[in-house]
Amino acid sequence: MGVDMMRTYRFIGALLILLCPAIFGETHIWTSREGKTAVAEFQALEGGTLVLKKGSKTIRVPLDGFTDGDQTYARKCAEELKAKVRRLEEEERLERIGSLKGLRRSVPVTARHWEDWKDYYTESTCGRDMLDFFKNERSIVDVRNKGVFISVEDAVRPPGYAPTMAVYCPSDYDGKEKMGIYIHVSPGNNATVPNQGYREMMDKYRLVCASPNGSGNDQSDMRRCALALDTLAQLREDYAIDEDRIYIGGTSGGGAEATFATFLYPQDFRAALNSVRYFLLTSNACLPFADRSHIREASKHQQPFAFISGPDDSNYNYMPDSEQSFKDHGFVVKFFDIPGMGHETASAETFDKVMQWVEDNNPRLK
What DSSP assignment string belongs to 291-327?
-HHHHHHHHTT--EEEEEE-TBSTTGGGHHHHHHHHH
- Cβ–Cβ under 8 Å, residues 310 and 273: no
Domains of the chain, residue spans? 3-95, 104-365
- Cβ–Cβ under 8 Å, residues 166 and 198: no
Q: How confident is the model at residue 18 (pLDDT cuts 50, 70, 90)?
A: very low
Rounded Cα gap, residues 114 and 119, in angstroms: 6
Q: What pLDDT, on the 0 to 100 scale, is given for residue 24?
A: 42
Rounded Cα gap, residues 338 and 185, in angstroms: 21
- Cβ–Cβ under 8 Å, residues 321 and 294: no
Which SS3 state, helix, strand or coil, does residue 352 take?
helix
What letter would DSSP give residue 166? E
Q: Which residues contact 297 (CB under 8 A, 6 or more apart)?
A: 125
Q: What pLDDT, on the 0 to 100 scale, is given for residue 112?
A: 98
Q: How confident is the model at residue 13 (pLDDT cuts 50, 70, 90)?
A: very low
Taken as a whole, the chain contains a residue count of 366
- Cβ–Cβ under 8 Å, residues 232 and 179: no
Q: What pTM was computed for the model?
A: 0.78
Rounded Cα gap, residues 110 and 164, in angstroms: 8
- Cβ–Cβ under 8 Å, residues 156 and 150: no
Specify the CATH number for 104-365; select among 2.60.120.10, 3.40.50.1820, 3.30.420.40, 3.40.50.261. 3.40.50.1820
Rounded Cα gap, residues 119 and 67, in angstroms: 64
List, for residues 266-294, the tens digit of each pLDDT value. Answer: 999 999 999 999 999 998 888 988 999 99
Q: What pLDDT, on the 0 to 100 scale, is given for residue 5?
A: 46
- Cβ–Cβ under 8 Å, residues 309 and 355: no
Q: What pLDDT, on the 0 to 100 scale, is given for residue 243?
A: 98
Rounded Cα gap, residues 197 and 213, in angstroms: 21
In the chain, the amino acid numbered 347 is S
Task: Look up the CATH architecture of domain 3-95.
Answer: Roll (2.30)
Q: How confident is the model at residue 14 (pLDDT cuts 50, 70, 90)?
A: very low
**Stretch 128-146: mean pLDDT, rounded?**
68
What residues does 248 pair with on adjacent strands? Answer: 183, 272
pLDDT of residue 15 exceeding 70, the answer is no
3-state helix, strand, coil in the chain (%, to 5): 40, 25, 35
What DSSP string runs through 194-230?
Answer: --HHHHHHHHHHTEEEEEESS--TTS-HHHHHHHHHH
Q: How confident is the model at residue 139 (pLDDT cuts 50, 70, 90)?
A: low
List, for residues 306-331, the tens digit of each pLDDT value. Answer: 999 999 999 999 999 999 999 999 99
Higher local confidence (pLDDT), 2 or 298: 298
